[in-house]
Amino acid sequence: MRRFNDLADFSNEEIKDLIALAARLDKNPEPRALEGKVLSLLFLSPSLRTLSSFQAAMIKLGGGAFVISPDMSIHGLESRYGIVMDGTAAEHVREAIPVIASYGDAMGVRAFAERRDLAHDLADTDFKNLTGLINKPWINMESAIDHPCQSLADWKTMDDLGVPEHGKFVLSWGYHPKALPLAVSAATLRMAAKRGMNIVHLRPPGFEMPPAIMDQARKAAAASGGSITETTDRREAMEGAHVIYTKSYSSTKYYGDKLGDQALREQLVGTWCVDEPWFANARPDCRFMHCLPVRRGVEVSDRILDGSRSVVIQEARNRLYAQMAVLYRMMKG
């Protein structure tokens, strides 16, 4: 495997093979599998789970990892091209990324969307520019429009829980005081579609998924025997649901327009926080999923997060084993 950038690059059989490998490495550890191997990790955006689980994964497989991020005492990094570097940044990614890559056998990169221009972010333009500088196998640790490591772990979590492949999957927008990236929701929609699920995208007006993402998801659903609809009606969405997956993101109507987004968002305070009444007509065992981090009492209530519906810790734990499977295939074969 030369790169792990998008689940769409893999067949469903290849994804199932990765998930089986993840389960095997959980049950039967291979502490020398990647002995002597090094993973370089570049975090241009913050993290808790991705940052720690990739390092833990390399340790469990007998290798090592190092992290570079702007929060460390590195030289300021410039990523724009064709400019005179007479400001604060003292090093360009054009040199920094090949240097970081040269110290490892594979590299992971995280760089969130700047959220100025939707077309620019949908094309993952900045991320492609960064990863184009890597001459080693590499992993997308969350870009403007994708988070394949989260999606692989979430697919495994649903398998572990016995959620049917064609089960009902509600992808719901949740309230958050800040405009957040679209990557997890876009990746989750495509993952659930590829898994063959019957998806309802539940969101308020102004937070529609971009048509390009919907088209990709619809094609994936058609190929896997699933379906996708969109609604603003919570009751209709939750009818018979196996899973509700919540994630906040910036308004797609006012993408790049901070004031427009804020004005729309303020109208939704208190009405998009997942709580027990949401589950009134769902399946009794309907699960709550979220990639984390999550704001308690804002995006979801304490009683849901602390109750039996929530599988957020299992999802986070599965990040470790899903990534171990990716690293194993990438560096061992």
Binding residues vs ligand CP (CB under 6 A):
47-50, 142, 150, 291-293
Q: Kindly write down the DSSP assignment for every residue of 57-86, as one continuous string.
A: HHHHTT-EEEEE-TTSSPPPEE--SS----
Q: Which long-range contacts (CB under 8 A, 24 or more apart) does 123-127 make?
A: 126/79
Pick the closer one to ligand CP by CB: 169 or 254: 169
HEC string for 295-314: CECCCECHHHHCCCCECHHH
**Do 105 and 134 form a contact (C-beta atoms < 8 A)?**
no
The answer to whether 224 touches 195, Cβ cutoff 8 Å, is yes
Measured from the CB of residue 267, what is the shortest distance to ligand CP in angstroms? Answer: 27
Question: Can you name the residues that pair with 91 across neighbouring β-strands?
Answer: 77
Residue 183 CB, shortest distance to ligand CP, in Å, is 9
Choice between 142 and 261, CB closer to ligand CP: 142
Residue number, 29 or 293, with CB nearest to ligand CP: 293
CB of 49 to ligand CP, least distance (A): 4
Comparing CB distances to ligand CP, the nearer of 96 and 152 is: 152
Contact (Cβ atoms closer than 8 angstroms) between residue 159 and residue 24: no
Beta carbon of residue 110, minimum distance to ligand CP (angstroms, whole number): 8
Pull the structure tokens for residue 314.
Answer: 């299992």
Beta carbon of residue 91, minimum distance to ligand CP (angstroms, whole number): 25
Q: Which is nearer to ligand CP, 19 or 221 (CB)?
A: 19
Rounded to 5 degrees, what are φ and ψ at 53? Answer: -70, -35
Instruction: Calculate Rg over the CA atoms of the chain.
Output: 20
Give the nearer residue to ligand CP in terms of CB position, either 130 or 320: 320
Q: Is the dihedral of CA 243, 6, 321, 297 positive or negative?
A: negative
Compare residues 142 and 299 and give the one whose CB is closer to ligand CP.
Answer: 142
Question: Would the CA dihedral through 125, 257, 185, 209 be positive or negative?
Answer: negative
Q: How far is the CB of 48 from ligand CP (least distance, A)?
A: 4
Minimum distance from CB of 293 to ligand CP (Å)?
A: 6
Whose CA is closest to 57, among 332, 318, 320, 330? Answer: 320
Nearer to ligand CP, 40 or 47 (CB): 47
Query: Cα torsion at 321, 12, 3, 33 (round to 10°)?
Result: 40
Least distance CB 294 / ligand CP (angstroms): 10
Residue closest to 144 by CA, chosen among 123, 171, 170 = 123
Asked whether the beta carbons of 182 and 152 are under 8 A apart, the reply is no
Asked if residue 103 lies in contact with residue 66, where contact means CB atoms within 8 angstroms, the answer is yes
Closest approach, Cβ 317 to ligand CP, in A, equals 12
Q: Rank residues 111 and 238 by Cβ distance to ligand CP and give the closer one.
A: 111
